[in-house]
């Protein structure tokens, strides 16, 4: 009986060691497979994140100083690191007094729902009308708009007689159909890029 008890202990020890070695060996095979898959993915161009997506995400997450007034934000922009609170309205290319083309060069035809601009750095983004003190080509992140779940990236490509100071105007496909958008106050505008 004494020998049987010792034999049982050794079997238990060997069983634990065997299970431990099996777990280690299984993990090593898994690691090799993971490394192999990662190397395969690196060779696929689709797996690379596009530059414009990375820039937009970086702009969306960067912390910027919010100034109390539009004038302070414009004076202290220093490389696009400022923000201000203001009013956001919407307009369409068919609005009264609108000619259907943006005021900034390149003068883009915005008729027939052409409300986007393809920026070489930020990709496909919305068009915005702003005060003349914000230069054409500036990129603005428009936050907390009620009809959108995420901030809207937009480029200043237009002007307007009533668009002064912290009042910005977002381009929609038509004046009559803005998808339920209404004038909104206390919108946070982040200046991401200052001019082209």
Give pLDDT, residue 45: 39
Phi, psi (degrees; rounded to nearest 5) at 54: -60, -45
Give dist(CA 122, CA 6) in Å, integer: 73
Nearest to residue 60, comparing CAs of 148, 153, 147? 153
Tokens representing 116? 């986007």
Count CB-CB contacts under 10 A for residue 21.
10
Whether residue 105 sits in one domain with residue 38? no
Q: Could you give phi then psi for residue 9, rounded to 5 degrees?
A: -60, -45
The answer to whether the beta carbons of residues 52 and 123 sit under 8 Å apart is yes
Torsion of CA 191, 179, 132, 119, to 10 degrees: 60
Distance CA 73, CA 6 (A): 82
Do both 96 and 30 map to the same domain?
A: no
Q: What is the pLDDT of residue 76?
A: 78
Give the separation between CA 106 and CA 41, rounded to whole angstroms. 39
Query: What is the predicted pLDDT for the residue at 106?
Result: 82
73 touches 56 (CB < 8 A) = no
Question: Domain total for the chain?
Answer: 2
Number of neighbouring beta carbons within 10 Å of residue 10? 10
What is the per-residue pLDDT for 16?
66
56 and 108 in a single domain? The answer is: yes
Q: Verify that 135 and 82 share a domain, yes or no.
A: yes
Instruction: Give the model's pLDDT for residue 73.
Output: 85
Residues 39 and 57 in one domain: no
**145 and 105 co-located in one domain:** yes
Same-domain status, 27 and 58: no
Residues 11 and 73 in one domain: no
Cα 110 from Cα 88, distance rounded (Å): 19
The CATH number assigned to the domain holding 164 equals 2.40.40.10
| Whether residue 107 is found in the same domain as residue 79 | yes
Query: 12 and 58 share a domain?
Result: no
17 lies in the same domain as 93: no
The token pair at 137 is 């080509």
Give the pLDDT confidence score for residue 124 in this predicted structure: 95
Both 40 and 63 in one domain: the answer is no
Averaged pLDDT in 10-residue chunks for the chain of 196 residues: 59 65 56 39 38 49 70 75 91 86 90 90 95 95 91 95 94 88 93 91
Domain span at residue 126?
51-193
Q: Three-state SS for 26? A: helix
The CA distance from 143 to 149, in Å, is 9
């Amino acid at each position: 009986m004494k020998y049987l008890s010792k034999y049982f202990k050794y079997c238990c020890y060997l069983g634990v060691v065997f299970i431990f070695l099996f777990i280690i060996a299984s993990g090593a095979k898994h690691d090799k497979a993971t490394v192999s898959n990662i190397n395969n993915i690196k060779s696929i161009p689709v797996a690379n994140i596009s530059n414009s997506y990375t820039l937009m995400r970086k702009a969306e997450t960067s912390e910027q100083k919010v100034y109390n007034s539009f004038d302070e934000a414009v004076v202290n922009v220093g490389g696009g690191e400022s923000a201000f609170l203001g009013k956001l309205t919407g307009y369409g290319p068919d609005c009264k007094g609108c000619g259907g083309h943006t005021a900034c060069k390149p003068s883009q035809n915005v008729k027939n729902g052409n409300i986007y601009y393809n920026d070489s750095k930020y990709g496909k983004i919305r068009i915005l009308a702003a005060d003349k003190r914000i230069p054409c080509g500036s990129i603005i992140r428009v936050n907390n708009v009620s009809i959108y779940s995420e901030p809207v990236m937009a480029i200043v490509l237009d002007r307007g007689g009533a668009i002064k100071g912290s009042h910005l105007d977002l381009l929609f496909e038509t004046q009559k159909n803005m998808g339920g958008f209404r004038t909104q106050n206390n919108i946070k505008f982040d200046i991401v890029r200052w001019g082209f």
